[in-house]
Amino acid sequence: MLPNLISKFMRPFSSMTMGVTPIGSAIGNLPANTEKATIAAGCFWGVEHIYRKHFENKGLLDARVGYIGGDTNNPSYRLVCRGDTGHAEALQVLYDPEKVSYETLIEFFFRMHDPTTPDRQGPDVGSQYRSAIFYHSPEQESTAKKIITAAQKEWFKGQNIATEVIPAGQWWDAEDYHQLYLNNNPGGYECPSQ
């Protein structure tokens, strides 16, 4: 019993990589029109869980949690949690734009977290929990900015949206045990957004 309890507390701080499978490789042939979206909205466990739950069978093809927006190569969870790397905990999704639009994914992003709190979501505090949209094309950048303007006017009157819209740089998959974390550990985390 005691070793299991200790491993539950220590596992989230492990820096081992454990053979991460690249995004999309688990589903075989992806549609030719597959597109990618990358967002950060607090703890990546909850963000992944909510997106998978909401967009299952609605155009979401695959999703991975990882790190983006920093300046350290091959960052580990431990380094990112210390706040020394500049990375955000993020979600990267592959989607079929014939079934779900980028606009729909980004509108949902603003409904599932609080974009007005810089470097914070619920009890999670630090730059790794910032709100950000990492765009992969000029069209994604334009769409994200358009949605921010609309969200500011319609949903967040009197509050400033702190969401950054920045080019997607190097993506680093998080360690395997972070992938599908809340599916595998349903009592392991209370996500404020759920």
Q: Which residues are catalytic?
A: 43
- Return d(Cα 71, Cα 26) in angstroms, integer: 29
Q: Residue by residue, what is the 3-state secondary structure of 80-128?
A: HHHCCCCCEEEEEEEECCCCCCHHHHHHHHHHHCCCCCCCEECCEECHH
The Cα-based distances of 17 to 80, 116, 157 in angstroms read 14, 33, 42
Burial label, 40 (beta-carbon count in 10 A; 0-12, 13-18, 19+): buried
**Residue 193 per-residue DSSP state:** T
**3-state SS assignment for residue 174:** coil
